[in-house]
Amino acid sequence: MPIIYKYLLTRIAQYFFIVMAAVIGIYLAVDFFERIDNFMEASVAFPTALKYFFLKIPFIVSQVCPIAVLLAILIQLGIMNKNNEILALKSSGVSTDFLLKPVIAVGIVSSIVLFLFAEVIVPVTITSANRIWQHKVKKQSAVTLKRDNLWIKGRNYICHIKHYDQVTSTIYGITINYFDDSFKLIKKIDAKKGVYFKDKWKLFNFMEQIIGKDNKPSKINFVDQDYVPINFIPEDLLEIIKKKSDMSIVELYGQIKKIEAEGYDATSYRVDFLAKIAFPFVCLIMSIIGIGISTNNKFNPGVAVNVLTGIGSVFIYWIVYSFCLSLGYGGILPPVVSAFAADLIFITIAVFIIFNTN
């Protein structure tokens, strides 16, 4: 390996870990001061609280890895450009393509590591962290997840939900059993779909059975749509069930097959499944953008401005990425297009920057 490659890779790695440590520290500090009151009110032991924040670190790493890669490249190459080291290398016959190779290698390796990290470690740690928050802090035990089905226990009812769509706040396959004070079944409702609207759950195409003294239906009503008193909101479901963002690709794929086999729409799950594949490529894209910005002699105002430009690039990427995913959730774009659109747009911009570099 050429000496310049060793130098570049070593320095980029150093700045990467510095940026990563700084961002993780800021994130944890903000999260700590926001949640510490909840831990104290719930009388959670301090080691348990520390374990919660420690378990969130892998998730933070997976989210900030692309910006850490970009800033590390921008800082290192920006310093080299400021000290005229890149100019000296070019004067010695070293081309931009020569400098591009180790940076591309950093992007490829970062993308692979990010993909494996997000699929193997993050789902396990974030699930454990959420379990601490739900059971130790929120004291939630009324909602449980069993075989991908939701069971919700209220004051005088038990509700079973086959499927919950997190994007549209819609529940499917609902069965509600109502009980009296002696825990005797008095009413049962079976509904095809329910939507949270105006702070209430509105059920569609449901059958209501009034249970008589002999435990047999004494009256049956078929209703097209109506509001039903069940005391939970979509946020309650989101806090307890495993979010799509916390699932691995294998789990998402299994969920897609299950939902479609039951006859429900799995578009949002397909979008997230493909987004899990598309997102790690952002490390490679940001690496190319970083070397393009840092080595461009037409526009080189300094390291600080380069870093701000990099942060702005990541911010714009997140806007485009989130916007494209929302179009996919709404069915406006096909799932594969919505998941990879941001990557295609920014890889085009990155290549354009490289071709216009002196």
Q: Which of 217, 209, 210, 179 is nearest to 191 (CA)?
A: 209
Q: Catalogue the long-range contacts made by 202-208 (C-beta closer than 8 Å, 24 or more residues apart).
A: 202/226, 202/227, 202/228, 203/174, 203/227, 203/228, 206/174
> What is the average pLDDT across 207-231?
79
Structural contact between residues 145 and 241, judged by C-beta atoms closer than 8 angstroms: yes
Give per-residue pLDDT as tens, 115-166. 888 888 888 888 888 778 777 777 654 444 443 567 777 778 888 888 777 7
Neighbours of 254 (CB within 10 A): 14
Give per-residue pLDDT as tens, 253-289. 887 887 777 677 778 888 888 988 888 888 888 888 8
Strand duo 149-153 + 143-146: pairing:
antiparallel
Neighbours of 278 (CB within 10 A): 19
Distances (CA, A) of 27 to 16, 64, 184, 258: 16, 10, 50, 36
Cα-based angle 252, 256, 260 (whole degrees, multiple of 5): 170
Neighbours of 173 (CB within 10 A): 19
Q: Is the pLDDT of residue 31 over 50?
A: yes
Q: Which of 302, 305, 283 is nearest to 67 (CA)?
A: 283
Distance, in Å, from the CA atom of 176 to the CA atom of 161, rounded to the nearest integer, reads 9
Distance, in Å, from the CA atom of 285 to the CA atom of 290, rounded to the nearest integer, reads 9
**DSSP string of 223-269, one letter each residue:** EEEEEE-----HHHHHHHSPPGGGS-HHHHHHHHHHHHHTT---HHH
Determine the pLDDT at residue 39.
85
Cα-based angle 168, 172, 174 (whole degrees, multiple of 5): 135
DSSP three-state, residue 183:
coil
Q: Is the pLDDT of residue 96 over 70?
A: no
Q: Is the pLDDT of residue 336 over 80?
A: yes
Query: What single letter denotes the amino acid at residue 158?
Result: I
> What is the average pLDDT across 27-43?
86
**DSSP string of 115-153, one letter each residue:** HHHHHHTHHHHHHHHHHIIIIIIS---SEEEETTEEEEE
Q: Is the pLDDT of residue 239 over 60?
A: no
Determine the pLDDT at residue 141.
47
Determine the pLDDT at residue 21.
92
Confidence of residue 340 (pLDDT cuts 50, 70, 90): very high
Distance, in Å, from the CA atom of 258 to the CA atom of 149, rounded to the nearest integer, reads 11
356 or 129: which leads in pLDDT: 129
> What is the average pLDDT across 345-353?
83
Question: Is the C-alpha dihedral spanning 114, 116, 121, 124 positive or negative?
Answer: positive
List CB contacts of 187: < 8 A, sequence separation 6 or more.
Answer: 177, 178, 208, 209, 210, 211
Determine the pLDDT at residue 139.
65
302 phi, psi to nearest 5 deg = 140, 170
Domains of the chain: 3-132+261-355 (no CATH), 155-231 (2.60.450.10)
For residue 201, the surrounding DSSP H or E stretch is strand 200-211
Two tokens, residue 235: 């946020």
Residue 147 CA, distance from chain mean position: 23
**DSSP string of 302-332, one letter each residue:** -HHHHHHHHHHHHHHHHHHHHHHHHHHHTTS
